[in-house]
Structure 1
Amino acid sequence: MTVRAEDLTVTLTDAPAAADIAALHRGLETFNTRVSPPYDRRELCLFARRPDGTVAAGLTGWTQWSWLYVDYLWLDESLRGGGLGGDLLARAEAEAVARGCRWARLYTYDFQAPSFYERKGYSQWGVLEDFPPGHRQIWFRKDLVPTD
């Protein structure tokens, strides 16, 4: 069925329906897979819990197309500096390699942990200035397996 642009109604919302977002994702995925590998995205999450079950630290991300993407890595302030963050990152990287990933990518901010990621072998490849205003968003990548 052909749809003409003049027959469409465009709406603006800050509270989109999940079904509408899913329709966009499906449409773009269908288009992309004509030239890209199939979407093989799998969530990858680690949680460190207190004895009462509450989350004290964790990492969220996913694997897709031979890449690990680290979305969030957070530790309660009382746990920082003791090696737990590095352990969570190393566990995520090991699982990603087990899933066939060769690389990892993430971003952080200049007021968060860029030096932490550099110590863990990540290399900066991009910077977005003034995001948020007065700061920088810094993009990193890492080879998880040796390159030939």
Structure 2
Amino acid sequence: MTFKITIPEDPTDAHRNAVLAPLRSYNIAQAGDPRIRPVAILLTDKLGEHVGGLWGKCAYDWLFVELLAVPENLRGKGCGKALMAQAENIARANGCIGLWLDTYEFQARGFYEKLGFEVFGTLDDHPIGQKRFFLRKRLSKGPIPVS
């Protein structure tokens, strides 16, 4: 089989899908249907505007928290904790055994550790002079109260 390597200057969703399709087929053949479900939990202000929240996905029995953003004026008021409690409840409802995420050294490692997450990996010099941490939390039984 002959092939040619192409590097698009402006990659598109079609390019991503060209890579994803054979990978998805292989993964399903090896580990079954990942049952991917997107998760969005939004913070809404008094005007009904979405001003932050959590974005992630359930896949292969874990919920991956891709993004968590709480506007500065809402920090320290329990919003992040409430978002994560909702994420845990969604994970449980979808049969997940845990949650995982990553955060930079200059972000919220301590916040996640207070919620019961533990570091399972570290990437040094990302960005240079900083670290990126990968954290996980295995779920216990029962829903988490949300205030």
Q: Same fold (TM over 0.5)?
A: yes
1:58 to 35, 53, 57: 53
Partner of 1:131: 126
The unaligned stretches of length 5 or more in structure 1 are none
Partner of 1:82: 77
Counterpart CA distance in 1 for 2:99 and 2:110 is 16
Shift of 1:19: 1.7
The alignment's C-alpha RMSD in Å is: 1.3
Shift of 1:13: 2.0
1:38 to 16, 20, 33: 33
Partner of 2:67: 72
Give the number of the structure whose alpha-carbon radius of gyration is greater. Answer: 1
Moved over 3 A (4+): none
The unaligned stretches of length 5 or more in structure 2 are 142-147
Shift of 1:21: 1.3
1:19 and 2:25 matched: no
Deviations 1:14-39 (A, max 9, x none): 41232221121111111122211212
2:23 to 24, 28, 31: 28
SS of equivalent residue, structure 2 residue 6: coil
Counterpart CA distance in 1 for 2:51 and 2:13 is 29
Deviations 1:57-112 (A, max 9, x none): 20000001110100011010011111110000000110110110011100101100
Shift of 1:133: 1.0
- Give the letter for the 1:25 counterpart: L
Counterpart CA distance in 2 for 1:29 and 1:126 is 25
* Matched residues, number: 141
TM-score when normalising by structure 2:
0.90
- Give the letter for the 2:98 counterpart: W
Over the matched positions of the two proteins, sequence identity in percent amounts to: 33
